[in-house]
Amino acid sequence: MSRPPKLDEAILTDDTALGDAIDKVLLASEEFRRLSGRIRRRQRELQQLVDQEGWRAYLHLEVAVNERGILESELIARWAFRAGLKLGRREAHARRTKA
């Protein structure tokens, strides 16, 4: 499993690159993989309990929830990166003014 790249402006402005970086971070997490396995097991159980129409409705809901989760991850990554840049600039400025 490859390591996630360091975030930079090029990754943050490319939705595909940012999505790939977020995926690598998540897949590196044992807790994330364990939870994903639990979700897949529950989905199989649910599929056995509902009819085709109910299963299709669930899948449409799942797509919408996943799209929202992707957007949330991208927004938070971009916000955190920019906040870190601002903090770094402030710290550098504070060091320069102390000297």
Residue 3 has pLDDT above 90, yes or no: no
Residue 96 has pLDDT above 80, yes or no: no
Alpha helices of the chain — where are they, by DSSP H?
A: 9-12, 15-27, 30-49, 52-98
Percent of the chain whose predicted confidence (pLDDT) is above 70: 84
Please answer whether residues 14 and 20 qualify as being in contact, where contact means their C-beta atoms are separated by less than 8 angstroms.
no
Please answer whether residues 12 and 81 qualify as being in contact, where contact means their C-beta atoms are separated by less than 8 angstroms.
yes
Q: Residue 40: inside a domain, yes or no?
A: yes
pLDDT given at position 1: 59
Rg of the chain on CA atoms, in Å? 20
How far is 19 from 99, CA to CA, in rounded Å? 41
Number of domains in the chain: 1
Q: Residue 2: inside a domain, yes or no?
A: no
Q: Is the pTM of this model over 0.75?
A: no
Instruction: Say which DSSP state 50 is in.
Output: S
Residue 77: closest CA among 27, 29, 16, 12: 12
Q: Residue 46: inside a domain, yes or no?
A: yes
Q: Residue 65: inside a domain, yes or no?
A: yes
pLDDT given at position 87: 63
Q: Residue 3: inside a domain, yes or no?
A: no
Q: Residue 44: inside a domain, yes or no?
A: yes
Give the domain range for residue 58: 9-98
pLDDT given at position 68: 97
Q: Residue 4: inside a domain, yes or no?
A: no
In the numeric block, which tokens belong to residue 24?
Answer: 């690598």
Instruction: Give 29-56 pLDDT, tens digit per residue.
Output: 999 999 999 999 999 999 999 999 999 9
Instruction: Give 5-21 pLDDT, tens digit per residue.
Output: 788 888 888 989 988 99
